[in-house]
Structure 1
């Protein structure tokens, strides 16, 4: 006899599109099921590959149902091409489950551009939002912060930036548990006269807006990792460069440390003495520990996992989806937008996004 699924959030999980394989994706669902006892899943992908893995995780019995899809979106597929066959892919079917109300959120580790294109075409933008933004959680010296946009929109005007700020603050209140997150606009300097006209206009609007956040003004790139702000807002072009630079710097630092410790007997002795602290550093910088980027501003929740995330990392992305559903982040964004007047919105654009 099959157990009755828990009456909690339902996650549509694209099992096929990531780089880590079906076994890791199903194991991630099992980890998330242990963390969130009321969570259940729709697993989209090739049933012949998923079923044997699902059988290895008895905790998922009655809490996960396979929806067969033989078509898989690859990392090389162009978004425009994927849109033509979205309805037959595991990625597209997972997002459609959200659209149809069969799931509360979709999670995929697949092609970012394709995921954004399908999600935007199927779900459209919320009322009051011109463009969705890709937001992610980043490690800082103090804890974690939120940054957006990370590549969905290469060019943004002041209205876009203000909308990103509203969405980012709502995301931080939900995922980071902050009552009033500190928010800054990424700029080439902290002075009020620095930066583009769009940035200065956005800053003026945010200063006067009555929102559940503390706007601290402009922040420079070196403040992204300090933890002095909880939300960093920028256009997708600058945000993606900043993100990739931070990731590269992290690899540089860990690589240099490794080289130094291997260079001599004293270095090896130093590693032995400091290995506990180094492991703590490695854990803090591990992308799996901060996994789960979100396309904010859509009429439905879509969470993007790192393509190479392991089971623990993908489970963390599922956890982000769970928290956003639990706290109804869409309602929070709509309520905050109501207090800002910035003219008409587009809201029905189907232009292919510039996702990185």
Structure 2
């Protein structure tokens, strides 16, 4: 019995040592890295098989028993994972338990229009293109916002996603992010604001976003537009005209463009345009509801990214001559 016990202990020690050795050995892969996709509801055995089929050269039964014996098998999370050449059975399980998915990122830039958003998503690495070929209204239907114009509805930010995710999922997150930001800034609006609804704030913010990239000027530009709205003066802002021209705009805004009536032409129509014209960032959203106190009704670019503000047309004309015409 003593000999049997001794042999058993020796065998157990050797087996335990071999197990510890195996758990810390790097796994052999079919490539420099392999992609492992685990669908929700996959069994532990199914996870081990999926790893083997993805290109991890390991006995799936051995991997399965490691998962089971670890006590963490039920903590394995569904997702898309990248298994690299330095992975071991131990680190593989840790990655799956922590849900350390292989993520990619796409950035939606402040001031972009919806066409530019779609173009960025179409080029995003490993992002499933479920919106390809769909019209804008169909996309909004899929996002649960039927009848809503898509322009300006998505918050500009960097969004991470797992490989194989849908572009609709990214759009839904951006849509909800804009809802949240707009709600936050609307609660911070000035009591005497000329704006009646969060929708109007979004529209004005989109114009501010296109008028300047200078944070220090945004509140002043908002003040100018607020003053104009208050006295019934035309906004006369070029970015809205350009947006209304669409693909007809060749990069050179001419006098005839200012006279060509579209729903977004603020030279021919009073008040705010019917929809946003771009994606505003947080600074522009806040500026729309918190305009600077000013008597200015005009502004012109100084040519260095900043603007010159004027309270009268005479003063504005002098600024135009100085900064635009060099007179």
With the length of structure 2 as denominator, give the TM-score of the two structures: 0.26
Larger Rg: 2
Q: Say which structure, 1 or 2, has more relative contact order (CA 8 Å, 6+ apart).
A: 1
Larger strand proportion, structure 1 or 2? 1
* TM-score normalized by the length of structure 1: 0.24
